[in-house]
């Protein structure tokens, strides 16, 4: 086609080229905007997911409030502040530097449980934005973005900011629910211990009290007519039953204390030889104390423990072995090192424990059947429960195993610690 024939079509070709170029540019710009929007949405989703992971494993969500404020400040480019109510009866936590007006807005946002300020449906004339930290049924705090002026956040950024706040609110409410459940469990455990204590007092304390009352009344009313031997027998009965009452009371109160999650131990470096020696001196005062024999491995390491509690554990185990073994059978106390632990064992030659009761032998106020024992000795069933609680309080364990030729062995294994280095002594001055 000659140029003369093409010339009339050149303007239309130019227009078509311009239109094609404009259309291509529009498509490229639209694609670029879509790509940028997708990139921003992906970034927001990643930020929300990462913050959600932090909140999911947070034991104290309020400790991450600064991270929430940093996220919001980076999102909006404006300073942020927060008011957090970590618990219904706890004092409010204020972060950032809100003035009196902002603080009043934060409190209103918490009370109403809805977003306020610029870009919302409530108090939209305010230059600041207030977002609640919403749980499932209430707000546990609020944050504010200061000085937005007349320019509100875009809807997607506003939704993202509220989602971040909601994650914090849900974590705070979850922690409140967990605290309430833990408190309810502690109260239920305390009530159960109290009920068991009352049951023990009403049942197991009556026999020694009746014996003490009878012996004391006999001494008071017929003391002059009784022989010296009879008076000594009554006095010895009073002493024995009083000691039994003291042991029952100490064990029950110690069990209630150690069952508390806030029980504190008075630990120090203690010698196993001294703890066992003190227990032997006490048991030697009993009429049947000569049956107890001790064997300790030489050069035992020191124990990091509460000496009073360990003495009570050993006294209970020895008393239990003496009560549940024949009058002529020996009771053995063995102490030796087993790897990284110290094992303290009390072994007897009693009738043993029926297999059905071996799993419950350490339960409080439970007294199982003993093989071949016609009459069960007196007791409240708290001694072994206290021993187990003492062992666990020292990060140890108490176990029972039947012996091959009859009897039982109670073994307490306690972890050994490395002693700190002693300070060097100063060189004597010449």
Least confident of 16-20, 147-151, 187-191, 303-307: 147-151
Determine, yes or no, domain membership for 86. yes
Which range has the top average pLDDT, 67-76, 253-262, 302-311, 420-429?
Answer: 302-311
> CA-to-CA distance for 55 and 409, rounded, in angstroms?
48
Are 393 and 322 within one domain? yes
- Does residue 422 register a pLDDT over 60? no
Of residues 313, 423, 325, 338, the one with CA closest to residue 377: 325
Label residue 406 left, alpha or beta by phi (over 0 means left) and psi (-120 to 50 means alpha): left
**Tens digit of each residue's pLDDT (9 = 90 or more) over 79-115:** 888 888 877 777 888 888 888 888 888 889 988 888 8
> CA-to-CA distance for 180 and 430, rounded, in angstroms?
67
**Tens digit of each residue's pLDDT (9 = 90 or more) over 204-231:** 677 778 888 888 888 888 878 888 888 8
Determine, yes or no, domain membership for 24. no
Mean pLDDT of the chain: 80
Determine, yes or no, domain membership for 150. yes
- Does residue 423 register a pLDDT over 90? no
Are 272 and 411 within one domain? yes
> CA-to-CA distance for 128 and 409, rounded, in angstroms?
73
Determine, yes or no, domain membership for 84. yes
Q: Which of 238, 258, 278 is the last residue of a domain?
A: 258
Of residues 141, 139, 164, the one with CA closest to residue 50: 164
Are 401 and 274 within one domain? yes
Residue 111: CATH number of its domain: 3.30.450.40
Least confident of 180-194, 306-320, 337-351: 180-194
DSSP 220-289: HHHGGGS-HHHHHHHHHHHHHHHHHHHHHHHHHHHHHHHTSTT-----EEE-HHHHHHHHHHHHTTSTTG
**Tens digit of each residue's pLDDT (9 = 90 or more) over 120-146:** 888 888 888 899 988 888 888 899 888
Are 252 and 284 within one domain? no
- Does residue 242 register a pLDDT over 60? yes
Determine, yes or no, domain membership for 15. no
Determine, yes or no, domain membership for 289. yes
pLDDT at 291: 92
Determine, yes or no, domain membership for 22. no
> CA-to-CA distance for 336 and 343, rounded, in angstroms?
5
- Does residue 3 register a pLDDT over 90? no
Question: Strand pairing of 129-134 and 268-270?
Answer: unpaired
Are 272 and 248 within one domain? no
pLDDT at 427: 55
| Burial class of residue 234, CB neighbours in 10 A (0-12, 13-18, 19+) | buried
Q: Which of 129, 144, 178 is the last residue of a domain?
A: 178
| Burial class of residue 81, CB neighbours in 10 A (0-12, 13-18, 19+) | buried
- What residues contact 102, with CB distance under 8 A and at least 6 apart? 81, 128, 144, 146
Are 350 and 296 within one domain? yes
Q: With beta carbons less than 8 A apart as the criterion, state whether 251 and 382 touch.
A: yes
Q: What is the pTM for the complete model shown? A: 0.50
> CA-to-CA distance for 44 and 90, rounded, in angstroms?
33
> CA-to-CA distance for 210 and 195, rounded, in angstroms?
22
> CA-to-CA distance for 369 and 365, rounded, in angstroms?
13
Are 98 and 173 within one domain? yes
Which range has the top average pLDDT, 181-185, 368-372, 381-385?
Answer: 181-185
In 42-138, the DSSP E strands lie at 80-84, 93-95, 116-117, 129-134
pLDDT band at 38 (very low <50, low <70, confident <90, very high): low
Residue 312: CATH number of its domain: 3.30.565.10
Look up tokens 């409410």; give the residue: 173
Give the count of domains, the chain: 3
Structural domain that includes position 395: 268-370+380-415
Are 273 and 409 within one domain? yes
Question: Strand pairing of 292-296 and 80-84?
Answer: unpaired
């Amino acid at each position: 086609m000659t140029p003369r024939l093409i010339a009339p079509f050149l303007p239309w070709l130019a227009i078509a080229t311009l239109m094609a170029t404009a259309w291509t540019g529009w498509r490229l710009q639209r694609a670029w905007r879509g790509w940028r929007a997708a990139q921003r949405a992906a970034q927001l989703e990643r930020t929300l997911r990462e913050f959600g992971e932090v909140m999911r494993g947070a034991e104290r969500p309020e400790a991450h409030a600064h991270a929430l404020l940093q996220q919001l400040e980076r999102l909006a480019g404006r300073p942020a502040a927060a008011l957090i109510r970590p618990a219904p009866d706890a004092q409010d936590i204020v972060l950032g530097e809100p003035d009196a007006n902002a603080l009043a807005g934060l409190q209103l946002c918490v009370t109403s449980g809805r977003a306020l300020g610029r870009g919302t449906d409530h108090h939209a004339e305010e230059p600041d934005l207030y977002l609640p930290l919403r749980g499932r049924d209430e707000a546990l705090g609020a944050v504010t973005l200061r000085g937005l002026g007349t320019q509100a956040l875009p809807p997607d950024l506003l939704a993202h900011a509220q989602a971040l706040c909601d994650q914090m609110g849900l974590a705070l409410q979850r922690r409140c629910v967990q605290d309430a459940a833990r408190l309810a469990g502690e109260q239920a455990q305390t009530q159960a211990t109290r009920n068991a204590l009352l049951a023990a007092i009403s049942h197991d304390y009556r026999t020694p009290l009746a014996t003490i009352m009878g012996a004391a009344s006999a001494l008071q009313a017929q003391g002059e007519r009784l022989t010296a031997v009879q008076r000594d027998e009554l006095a010895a009965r009073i002493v024995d039953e009083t000691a039994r009452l003291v042991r029952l009371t100490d064990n029950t109160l110690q069990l209630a204390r150690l069952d508390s999650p806030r029980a504190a131990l008075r630990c120090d470096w203690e010698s196993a030889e001294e703890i066992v020696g003190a227990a032997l001196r006490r048991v030697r005062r009993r009429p049947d104390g000569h049956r107890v024999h001790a064997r300790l491995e030489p050069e035992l390491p020191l124990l990091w423990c509460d000496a009073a509690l360990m003495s009570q554990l050993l006294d209970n185990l020895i008393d239990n072995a003496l009560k549940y073994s024949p009058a002529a059978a020996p009771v053995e106390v063995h102490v030796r090192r087993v790897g990284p632990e110290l094992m303290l064992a009390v072994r007897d030659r009693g009738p043993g424990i029926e297999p059905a009761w071996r799993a419950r032998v350490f339960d409080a106020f439970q007294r199982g059947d003993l093989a071949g024992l016609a009459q069960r000795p007196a007791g409240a069933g708290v001694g072994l429960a206290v021993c187990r609680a003492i062992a666990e309080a020292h990060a140890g364990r108490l176990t029972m195993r039947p012996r091959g030729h009859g009897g039982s062995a109670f073994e307490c294994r306690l972890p050994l610690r490395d002693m700190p280095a002693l300070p060097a002594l100063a060189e004597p001055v010449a």
